[in-house]
């Protein structure tokens, strides 16, 4: 990671905080970005004006997400808890698919393994091709694995509020002293404790602390065309080209190798159920947009 690179650490109310070799500077963005429909976000690599007061240029992006608003991600940690709130595999699969579609490595991180077993989640994703890390704070198990993913990369956390993102960040970098929230017993989810994306240099890489968001908003990460959806499920890939019909959608066609793999237990039934739901949503969206 080039230390000389200038990048946005966070943006608040039209002001952007850019890390430079000389420290963090506060600046604004030139009006040309608004005219072009471009919004600077945390993670953007930028060039500044001579006096350092303006962002002159946003360098080409590897990728950009709207929610959480962050650019140039390498790894997306999808944080889920074993309980309080109970994880939704559909939401996890939507987030993982969005990451893969944007050329980002998804990594599932399961918190609160001391409160309830994570065996079911581990079983659901055993053949997914997506790494799953179980955290045990009392022993520190899992933290070193996360640190290795962070090293040399720009990473972000995402997941429903209350799953323990701020607690995890505190465990990785206690000097940051991130505020943690209590779980609402009525709603079963936590209060938002992070209001904007902010990037910190930790563990030999960069980590974006991102606002929590509700499950329905997971779909807003990106809209994946139904034709591309199968390619965001790594567990389907070994069976491509083996279906009886070219252009198989892996839903109801006879001789579908993916469906056969599900029946044989080679692909998780929950993963396949998520694919069907996401396909129908993408199909309905396409019809609605006509």
Name residue, tokens 């199968």. 230
What is the C-alpha to C-alpha distance for residues 153 and 204, in angstroms, rounded to an integer? 8
Backbone angles phi, psi at 202, to 5 degrees: -140, 155
CATH class of 7-60: mainly beta
* The predicted structure's pLDDT at residue 103: 95
Name residue, tokens 């002001």. 15
DSSP reduced 3-state for 102: coil
Residue 91: pLDDT above 50? yes
Residues of the binding site for Zn(2+)? 243, 248, 250, 256
CATH class of 65-218: alpha beta
* The predicted structure's pLDDT at residue 193: 43
Q: What is the mean pLDDT of residues 266-290?
A: 86
Residues of the binding site for GTP? 111-114, 159-167
Q: Which residue has the higher pLDDT, 110 or 116?
A: 110
- % of the chain with per-residue pLDDT over 90: 57
pTM of the predicted structure, to 2 decimals: 0.83
* The predicted structure's pLDDT at residue 57: 95
What is the C-alpha to C-alpha distance for residues 159 and 215, in angstroms, rounded to an integer? 8
Split at pLDDT 50, 70, 90, the class of 114 is: low
DSSP reduced 3-state for 215: helix
Which range has the worst mean pLDDT, 86-95, 106-115, 272-281? 106-115
What is the C-alpha to C-alpha distance for residues 229 and 274, in angstroms, rounded to an integer? 11
Residue 67 · residue 247 · CB < 8 Å? no
Fold equal for 7-60 and 65-218: no
Backbone angles phi, psi at 139, to 5 degrees: -105, -15
Residue 289: pLDDT above 80? no
Residue 138: pLDDT above 90? no
Split at pLDDT 50, 70, 90, the class of 229 is: very high
Name residue, tokens 């994306």. 197
Strand partners, 59: none
Q: Which fold has domain 224-289?
A: Ribonucleotide Reductase Protein R1; domain 1 (1.10.40)
Compute the mean pLDDT over every residue in the chain, rounded to the nearest whole number.
84
* The predicted structure's pLDDT at residue 213: 44
> DSSP string of 44-71?
-BEEE-TTSSEEEEEPPPS-EETTTTEE
Q: What is the mean pLDDT of residues 18-46?
A: 94
Domain ranges of the chain: 7-60, 65-218, 224-289
Q: What is the 3-state secondary structure (H, E, C) of 170-188?
A: HHHCHHHCCCCCCECCCCC
Residue 109 · residue 126 · CB < 8 Å? no
DSSP reduced 3-state for 147: helix
Q: What is the mean pLDDT of residues 34-49?
A: 94
Q: Which residue has the higher pLDDT, 2 or 161?
A: 161
Residues of the binding site? 111-114, 159-167, 243, 248, 250, 256
135-138 CB contacts, 8 Å cutoff, 24+ apart:
135/109, 135/110, 135/111, 135/168, 137/167, 137/171, 138/114
Instruction: Please state at what angle helix 89-101 crosses helix 269-289, rounded to 10 degrees.
Output: 70
């Amino acid at each position: 990671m080039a230390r000389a690179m200038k990048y946005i650490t966070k943006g608040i109310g039209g002001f952007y905080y850019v890390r430079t070799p000389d420290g963090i500077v506060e600046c604004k963005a030139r009006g040309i970005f608004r005219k072009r429909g471009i919004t600077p976000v945390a993670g953007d690599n930028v060039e500044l004006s001579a006096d350092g007061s303006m962002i002159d240029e946003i360098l080409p992006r590897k990728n950009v997400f709207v929610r959480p608003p962050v650019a140039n991600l390498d790894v997306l940690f999808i944080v889920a808890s074993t309980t309080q709130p109970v994880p939704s595999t559909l939401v996890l699969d939507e987030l993982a698919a969005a990451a893969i579609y944007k050329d980002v490595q998804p990594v599932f991180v399961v918190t609160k393994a001391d409160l309830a077993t994570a065996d079911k989640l581990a079983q659901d994703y055993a053949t997914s091709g997506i790494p799953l890390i179980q955290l045990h704070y009392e022993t520190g198990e899992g933290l070193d694995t996360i640190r290795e993913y962070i090293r040399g990369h720009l990473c972000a956390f995402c997941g429903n509020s209350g799953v323990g993102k701020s607690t995890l960040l505190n465990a990785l970098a206690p000097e940051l002293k991130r505020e943690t929230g209590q779980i609402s017993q009525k709603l079963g989810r936590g209060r938002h404790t992070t209001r904007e994306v902010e990037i910190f240099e930790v563990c030999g890489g960069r980590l974006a602390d991102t606002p929590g968001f509700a499950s329905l908003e997971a779909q807003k990460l990106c809209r994946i065309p139904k034709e591309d959806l199968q390619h965001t499920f790594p567990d389907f890939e070994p069976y491509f080209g083996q279906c009886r019909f070219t252009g198989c959608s892996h839903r109801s066609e006879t001789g579908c190798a993916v469906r056969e793999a599900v029946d044989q237990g080679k692909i998780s039934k929950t993963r396949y159920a998520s694919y069907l739901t996401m396909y129908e949503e993408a199909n309905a969206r396409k019809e609605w947009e006509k």
